[in-house]
Amino acid sequence: MIQSNQVLVTGGSGFIASNCIAGLLRKGYRVKTSLRSLNRVPEVKQLLSVAGITDFEQLSFVQADLSDEAAWKAATEGCRYVIHPASPTPNFIAKHENEYIIPAVNGVLYVLRAAKAAGVERVVLTSAFGAICYGTDKQMPYTEEDWTDLSKDIPAYQKSKTMSEKAAWNYVKSEGEGLELAVVNPVGVLGPVLGADYSHSIQFINQMLNGQLKGVPKIRSVYVDVRDVADLHIKAMTDPKANGQRFLATSDESISLLDIANILRSEFGDKAVKVPKKEVPNWILRIVGLFNPQIKLILPHLGMVKDASHAKATRMLDWHPRTNKEAIIATAESLIRLGLVK
């Protein structure tokens, strides 16, 4: 039997997922969240406690993996809504792009099929800016009308997000039969960390504060605060206008890594003395990338300037994100507070 206020959030230990859970619990929803192993339940409760959640009465856990279709039937049972952030993340080096693509696409289809069978009203899929902006070079800000061009040489993670989102839309169109779908496409996610598991965008800030970077790559990107990403998911879950729509989650304008470094130094004084003051030439990083897999991951982003617009989310869902500076300061404050800066 479907409970009118019960939501499944997939991959509950993830950065976006844990913030969605916290936001839903604050609003009085019953939340069920999936984990690959229930051994991680104490860890997720600890993350949520850092986010200010003290009552776990309305939270339950279910074991489910993106590779196991059968598990999602039990996970979606009794839920009115599903928020699906779970996906392979670019925190590991894939030997083949299918290590990202296959579990991402299959995971989306497994969750959608289970949601339909369980009578779920709406699924909100967490896609990515990577499904919007790759393989093209726009002078104007990217919008929800744009799609990554899969005929070009696209990095594995971004390809997986593009293909899994397309698979979701195709499923709802061809087989969904009444299942509603909305999609949120976050750009680089910043904001307060709840533990040592956070978005790859925050790794740069942590490395700057810890003095691991002598200089920063010449990368200019768009960012968004994780609290705003969670808020947009919840708005997209309940607003009738959101059905059949995708929404870019982004702040107002792009910012370079050097700009971020300058904000850290100006705001954190002695705690930011290790933050670099210069950019590293692209040619040096390309040489280092031949030997360093982590550096190789950022090579496709060098010299890139990608702006994005949140006009649609603001117009349709009355969504108003924090500024880049607010997100950067909140990120650094949390890293320092949790002892993640040495």
Q: What is the pLDDT of residues 240-299, one digit of tens each?
A: 999 999 999 999 889 999 999 999 999 999 999 999 999 878 777 688 777 777 777 777
CA distance 30 to 18: 14
Asked whether residue 89 carries a pLDDT value surpassing 70, the answer given is no
Asked whether residue 274 is domain-assigned, the answer is no
Asked whether residue 64 is domain-assigned, the answer is yes
- Give the per-residue SS3 of 91-108: CCCCCCCHHHHHHHHHHH
In the prediction, which pLDDT does 100 show?
Answer: 83
The three-state secondary structure class of 225 is strand
Domains in the chain: how many in total?
Answer: 1
Going through 191-294 in order, the beta strands assigned E by DSSP cover 216-217, 220-221, 223-225, 246-249, 255-256, 279-280
In the chain, the percentage of residues whose pLDDT exceeds 90 is 73
Asked whether residue 94 carries a pLDDT value surpassing 70, the answer given is no
The residues with which 190 forms a beta bridge, in sequence order, are: 225
Domain of residue 33 covers 3-189+225-250+308-321
Asked whether residue 232 is domain-assigned, the answer is yes
Lowest average pLDDT, out of 36-45, 270-279, 299-308, goes to 299-308
Total residues belonging to the chain: 342
Query: Cβ atoms within 10 A of the Cβ of 321, count?
Result: 22
In the prediction, which pLDDT does 90 show?
Answer: 59
Q: Which CATH number is 172's domain given?
A: 3.40.50.720
- DSSP state letters, 102-151: HHHHHHHHHHHHHHHHHT-SEEEEE--GGGTSTT---SSPB-TT----TT
In the prediction, which pLDDT does 93 show?
Answer: 60
Asked whether residue 212 is domain-assigned, the answer is no
161 annotated active-site:
yes
Asked whether residue 264 is domain-assigned, the answer is no
**Long-range contacts at 51-57 (CB < 8 A, ≥ 24 apart):** 51/18, 51/19, 51/22, 51/192, 51/194, 52/22, 53/21, 53/22, 53/25, 53/26, 55/25
Query: Quick one: average pLDDT of 219-229?
Result: 95
In the prediction, which pLDDT does 215 show?
Answer: 86
Query: Quick one: average pLDDT of 19-38?
Result: 97
The reported pTM is 0.94
List the catalytic residue out of 161, 218, 235, 306: 161
Query: Quick one: average pLDDT of 21-30?
Result: 97
Asked whether residue 52 is domain-assigned, the answer is yes
In the prediction, which pLDDT does 290 show?
Answer: 79
- Using alpha carbons, list the distances in angstroms from residue 79 to 30, 105, 114: 9, 22, 11
In the prediction, which pLDDT does 138 show?
Answer: 85
Query: Quick one: average pLDDT of 54-65?
Result: 96
In the prediction, which pLDDT does 25 show?
Answer: 98
Asked whether residue 218 is domain-assigned, the answer is no
Query: Quick one: average pLDDT of 48-70?
Result: 95
Lowest average pLDDT, out of 25-34, 100-109, 251-260, 288-297, goes to 288-297
In the chain, the percentage of residues whose pLDDT exceeds 70 is 96
Which of the two residues, 97 and 18, has the higher pLDDT score?
A: 18
On average, the pLDDT of the chain sits at: 92
Query: Cβ atoms within 10 A of the Cβ of 203, count?
Result: 13
CA distance 181 to 94: 29
Asked whether residue 335 is domain-assigned, the answer is no
In the prediction, which pLDDT does 299 show?
Answer: 72
Q: Are the beta carbons of 237 and 182 closer than 8 angstroms?
A: yes
In the prediction, which pLDDT does 1 show?
Answer: 65
For residue 236, which of 7, 1, 4 has the smallest C-alpha distance?
7
**Confidence band of 92 (pLDDT split at 50, 70, 90):** low
pLDDT digits (tens, 9 = 90+) for 139-172: 889 999 999 999 998 888 899 999 999 999 999 9
**Confidence band of 91 (pLDDT split at 50, 70, 90):** low
- Max intra-chain CA distance, the chain: 59
- Using alpha carbons, list the distances in angstroms from residue 179 to 1, 83, 231, 304, 328: 17, 13, 22, 37, 37
In the prediction, which pLDDT does 163 show?
Answer: 97
